[in-house]
């Protein structure tokens, strides 16, 4: 492949053409429009080497986002490493549901529990600059990435290392948002695709996937202002059980937010 050009570099056997495009864009630091407009552009030797090394790792299953170190979420670019979950499109529903509840101006305290890359906290902070956003995670490595993302987007966020609410004693928030680990520990999907490479701690929520959600619905009340809300993401088949947990926990106005296919992905309630 001496003197390889863009068009040839995109015809790679055994690799999804969308993945090849993403890897080539990141190698060259160009847009998709550039790749379309310049099929004859030659890669330098170093670019070719880097791209083909990524292609090999992609063939072995590594997620594109971990190779390029970046993933777009809510129209913002986020740094990602294997220390954090790769932000998912469905989590944008959590952000939208949160923004509906946060006034544009009034003083408002928001907690993003289990912040990972910080994508939820950063998106909220940028859309509601009047809100005071706190982001917590058990993983110090994840918090380092979240801090980098907040700095990159100039989002004012307080970061706290905490095992769920333990480091937040005495604090009260108007809104707690969370995308917790909610995959059941024997779910066969854990052995497939990107999930094989993501931190287990970010994915697995006990035997039935609901361990963290039970803990959060149980404990969040004590950290919410009167009239405050809890909102969290859950698995595609967990909606009914999550709403039931909120009702059992004494939350009012229990509601679900659905994805474009009409599937419940976010549950919430007020205290």
Q: Where do contacts with ligand SAM occur on this chain (CB under 6 A)?
A: 84-85, 87, 91, 114-117, 119-120, 137-139, 142, 163-164, 179-181, 201-202
Give min distance, CB of 260 to ligand SAM, in A. Answer: 18
Give Cα separations from 41 to 5, 48, 160 (angstroms): 5, 12, 47
Q: Which residues contact 24 (CB under 8 A, 6 or more apart)?
A: 6, 9, 10, 35, 51
Give min distance, CB of 33 to ligand SAM, in A. Answer: 28
Q: Which is nearer to ligand SAM, 27 or 115 (CB)?
A: 115
d(Cα 174, Cα 165) in Å, to the nearest integer?
15
Q: Which is nearer to ligand SAM, 91 or 229 (CB)?
A: 91
Residue whose C-alpha is closest to residue 242's, from 232, 252, 250 = 232
8-state DSSP, 114: S
Q: Which is nearer to ligand SAM, 180 or 239 (CB)?
A: 180
Give min distance, CB of 167 to ligand SAM, in A. Answer: 9
Q: Which is nearer to ligand SAM, 87 or 209 (CB)?
A: 87
Give min distance, CB of 90 to ligand SAM, in A. Answer: 9
Helix (H, G, I), strand (E, B) or coil at 80: coil
The H-assigned helical ranges of the chain are: 6-9, 17-28, 32-37, 45-59, 64-68, 91-101, 119-127, 140-152, 200-203, 211-219, 239-248
Tokens at 50, concatenated: 């880097």
Give min distance, CB of 135 to ligand SAM, in A. Answer: 8
Residue whose C-alpha is closest to residue 52's, from 98, 8, 96 = 8
Tokens at 83, concatenated: 């220390």
Q: Which is nearer to ligand SAM, 30 or 215 (CB)?
A: 215
Give min distance, CB of 83 to ligand SAM, in A. Answer: 8
Q: Which is nearer to ligand SAM, 23 or 123 (CB)?
A: 123
Q: Which is nearer to ligand SAM, 35 or 95 (CB)?
A: 95
Give min distance, CB of 252 to ligand SAM, in A. Answer: 25
Q: Which is nearer to ligand SAM, 87 or 249 (CB)?
A: 87
Give min distance, CB of 250 to ligand SAM, in A. Answer: 23
d(Cα 106, Cα 130) in Å, to the nearest integer?
7
257 forms beta bridges with 266
Residue whose C-alpha is closest to residue 7's, from 59, 54, 42, 57 = 42
Give the residue at shortest CB distance from ligand SAM: 116
């Amino acid at each position: 492949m001496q003197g390889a050009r863009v068009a040839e570099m995109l015809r790679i056997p055994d690799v999804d053409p969308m993945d090849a495009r993403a890897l080539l864009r990141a190698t060259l630091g160009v847009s998709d429009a550039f790749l379309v407009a310049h099929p004859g552009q030659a890669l330098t030797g170093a670019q070719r080497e880097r791209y083909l090394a990524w292609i090999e790792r992609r063939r072995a299953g590594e997620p594109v986002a971990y190779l390029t170190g970046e993933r777009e979420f809510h129209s913002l670019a986020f740094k990602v490493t294997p220390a954090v979950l790769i932000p998912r499109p469905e989590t944008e529903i959590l952000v939208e549901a949160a923004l509906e509840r946060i006034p544009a101006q009034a003083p408002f305290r928001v907690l993003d529990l289990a912040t990972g890359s910080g994508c939820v906290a950063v998106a909220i902070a940028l859309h509601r600059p009047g809100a005071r956003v706190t982001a917590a995670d058990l993983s110090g490595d994840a918090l380092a990435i979240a801090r980098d993302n907040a700095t990159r987007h100039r989002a004012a966020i307080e970061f706290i290392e905490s095992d769920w609410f333990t480091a937040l004693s005495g604090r009260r928030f108007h809104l707690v948002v969370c995308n917790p680990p909610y995959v059941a520990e024997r779910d066969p999907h854990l052995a497939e695709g990107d999930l094989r490479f993501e931190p287990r701690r970010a994915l697995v929520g006990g035997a039935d996937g609901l361990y963290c959600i039970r803990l959060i619905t149980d404990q969040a009340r004590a950290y919410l202002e009167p009239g405050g809300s809890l909102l969290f993401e859950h698995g595609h088949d967990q909606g009914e059980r999550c709403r039931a947990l909120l009702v059992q926990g004494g939350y009012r106005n229990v509601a679900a937010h659905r994805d474009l296919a009409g599937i419940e992905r976010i549950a919430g309630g007020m205290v």
